[in-house]
Structure 1
């Protein structure tokens, strides 16, 4: 089946552009609607431009300054261009390499810096929010609904997922899977949602340790690995990196030792951006899991930002090929400059999105914030006891735990949350779809009245 890269190659190799009809001749296995969707994606990412109308509409490749995978708007240093020149060679021209433990050992937290002082100041200036002095996680909780959609979509897109952002919103907000998409793509989006909620909801205790990392991977990997036993645990076998001459460690004990050293160093780093970038560099390089290492690193890279009430790094508009090349620079050369330049550009794009919507953010309901754990626990208990009258159960819990002057409002909040309950928010309450279905069979009127 043709991919967007196949289409892009066809368009770029044509000196005079191609019409849709001409593209379909060159890609005979591609359905017309699929081609239109892929072309729209290439246009959105600045890789293709369209000229003309209707049947005369022609598509032209955009010439970039350095590489097809790096749009000209991403500024690259001379070091980054050197990395690209090497990575863009055919694989047979690049030297096979294994994991270099010295790369990790040479990093001294708060002495070694992947991000210069000027870069860190720039990132802090871009990402500063009004909640900077509030308790950890205040900002990420305030923007959670938007964050779930943006980060789930963009991170999945970097893995080749073809869900649109609108598809993702429908799935996350209303539990509606997009038509024509594979079950794997739907699962990937939902797993991102669960993993992001895991970080945000546990922000007070979440650290860059084995527990957080393993559970983060488990959430992202659920129902996606050939062997479910690989979910949330260090891999027990060798892996290959597609289109790369890099060969990661294969012995479990060596992986375990390197992972322990990696996390020990990460937790000593004081600056949240340096800590974030360190995880984006070293976690995929080590490849501690059977698969889904890069996804895990992208979410782990957000944890320091969540804790510091900084804007998140959503990876919106990051081209897949740019990210892949930057990662190969780390894998095959143990050089971070290309990934660093992409990280800074991607963070600026993220902050532009979130600072632009600041004025649209509703202030968190102080009562809902104060009693959030109680509300979640009460809803969980109601669903897990379908034989008990829900309104009576809520009234009893509220009467026992909530001050009298707040009981009526908290009671109303819980009832409203219960009426809005659907599959897309179940992880928030620690519930499974089967448990919700069992409850709904007995209490369907509760959903509509």
Structure 2
């Protein structure tokens, strides 16, 4: 019997094990005698040729029939959107495993060592070459400017893109135009649910929180808990759960992964994620680490992936790198990448998605930034003074006369040559303030409503 005949017999035997076979189980099933070492060599050859899959390691290794068999039915075949992203060989292997029906995947729980064994700045999910590529894609002309400068320049576009794409990855059916009308005009789509509208508005507020607080936010409890609170506002069954760590067990839809369910351990590992994230020096590794480990822990009742997607932009804002808004990433591609992390603790498929998504985002914002021309230097110079003046006027429910006096009072604190321009710019901002943009001045909705009623009342 030649080698080719043996390979065909091995594949035939594996087909009788839909959940995979151990080496010992395969030896017993084979109709011909093959020595263990010889069988291992044959299996290695089949793996190299893409005819079988190998899962696990050491004594837990299991072997599966060829990839094409797994995609024989329409429901199991990867969609065109999944395969549109160039995948590494490791990514294709993971995709094949997580595309099997749930009954053929091994149930797993939270693996503590996945996080514990990661050593910041020693271990790295991204290679040196990948970090170099990401740095080239993400570099802007604002790298020597204060944190958040670049994000502020493209904020109008970023609000729409990131709000829409992150919501879309959660199944939100708002269109891009619907999202733009909601964010910039305050006009909700008539044919969408209140939950979908709320999700978009929460993203907008959360992005503004991160961008306007670029010097204050970090991978700490204050930032991540409050980010979750904003993103989950009015969306959780228990309103008190917004910004609080989970106190009970949860499951993951369409996954055989069961997250950690002990509150004390959730608290411990949440702190460990933040501690390790803060230590990571490379902004791209930092972002990817958070995208992996926050959803894997599932520290909140819900809205975990959304929190991780916005938190991943923290280092990009800090270093004025191009943001990541997941442009053109399909929900299916994102979910399959996460399943590889949940069920296999393997990051390669999700990394393929991340690299592709970041390049797409960077190219988009480079084009947008070029079309915008140079930012208004005066507004950049006095952005804090402008924000303080507008916030004070609204929070104190000032009418037009009081506001005019306050703006002039603040202007007198500036160099004489800038005073008239400052008054003009702040008054223009006040006249253009509406329900779709007031949050960037850190104004509460209740304060804005009260101020708007006063502002629009005829005053004598």
TM-score range, shorter chain: 0.7 to 0.9
**How far did 1:128 drift?**
1.2
- Residue 156 (structure 1) aligned with residue 170 (structure 2): no
* Corresponding residue for residue 285 of structure 2: 274
Match of 1:115 among 94, 117, 126: 126
Q: Which has the larger radius of gyration?
A: 2
* Corresponding residue for residue 182 of structure 1: 193
SS at match of 2:428: helix
- Residue 438 (structure 1) aligned with residue 450 (structure 2): yes
Write the deviation string for residues 394-437 of structure 1: whole angstroms up to 9, x where unpaired. Answer: 34432442232211111111111111111111211222333333
Distance 1:409 1:227, change over 3 A: same
Partner Cα separation in structure 1 for residue 398 and residue 201 of structure 2: 29
**How far did 1:213 drift?**
0.6
- Contact 1:382/1:393 (8 A) holds in 2: no
- Contact 1:394/1:411 (8 A) holds in 2: no
Distance 1:256 1:410, change over 3 A: same
Write the deviation string for residues 299-346 of structure 1: whole angstroms up to 9, x where unpaired. Answer: 111111111211111101100011011001100010000000000011
SS at match of 1:136: coil
Distance 1:309 1:66, change over 3 A: farther
What CA RMSD, in Å, does the superposition of the two structures yield over aligned residues? 2.0
* Corresponding residue for residue 409 of structure 1: 421
* Corresponding residue for residue 240 of structure 1: 251
Distance 1:411 1:267, change over 3 A: same
Match of 2:91 among 80, 97, 105: 80
- TM-score normalised over the length of structure 1: 0.82
- Contact 1:234/1:288 (8 A) holds in 2: yes
- Contact 1:378/1:397 (8 A) holds in 2: no
Partner Cα separation in structure 2 for residue 123 and residue 66 of structure 1: 31
SS at match of 2:83: coil
Which stretch of the first structure deviates more once superposed, 330-339 or 137-146?
A: 137-146
Partner Cα separation in structure 2 for residue 134 and residue 296 of structure 1: 26
* Corresponding residue for residue 31 of structure 1: none
Match of 1:421 among 421, 433, 454: 433
**How far did 1:134 drift?**
2.5
Map of 1:288-303 to 2, 5 A cutoff? 288-303=299-314
- Residue 169 (structure 1) aligned with residue 180 (structure 2): yes
Match of 2:240 among 229, 235, 238: 229
Partner Cα separation in structure 2 for residue 195 and residue 75 of structure 1: 31
- Contact 2:154/2:368 (8 A) holds in 1: no
Distance 1:77 1:387, change over 3 A: closer
* Corresponding residue for residue 379 of structure 1: 390
Which stretch of the first structure deviates more once superposed, 388-397 or 232-241?
A: 388-397
* Corresponding residue for residue 249 of structure 1: 260
SS at match of 2:437: helix
Q: Which runs of 4+ in 1 moved over 6 A?
A: none
